[in-house]
């Protein structure tokens, strides 16, 4: 969350500076987006890494099979899906 807010703050600040310099609305927007991503990526790597970890935790919340039967079923389904996808090609 901190990383997103920091990036948004830099984006708005850079956008307003570009508008003040008279670069135009579209160019200011494009320059602000590129600059915000670049500045945050280069100068705040710990926040970037933490945001990536948070995102990974968010998308990997699928339930994991707990018992042996569920694991065997999962392996069988995966192998069946793989063989079926190879037949199509």
d(CA 15, CA 32): 5
- Whole-model pTM over 0.85: no
How many whole angstroms from its chain centre is CA 43?
18
DSSP assignment of 41-57: HHH-HHHHHHHHHHHHH
Mean pLDDT by runs of 10 across the 89 residues of the chain is: 81 93 92 89 78 73 71 81 76
Tens-place pLDDT, residues 7-26: 889 899 999 999 999 989 99
């Amino acid at each position: 969350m901190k990383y997103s807010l920091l990036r948004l703050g830099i984006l708005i600040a850079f956008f307003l500076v570009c508008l003040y310099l008279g670069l135009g609305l579209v160019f200011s927007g494009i320059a602000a987006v590129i600059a915000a991503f670049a500045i945050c990526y280069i100068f705040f790597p710990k926040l970037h890494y933490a945001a990536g970890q948070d995102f990974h935790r968010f998308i990997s919340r699928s339930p994991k099979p707990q018992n042996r039967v569920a694991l065997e079923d999962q392996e069988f389904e995966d192998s069946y899906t793989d063989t079926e996808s190879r037949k199509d090609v």
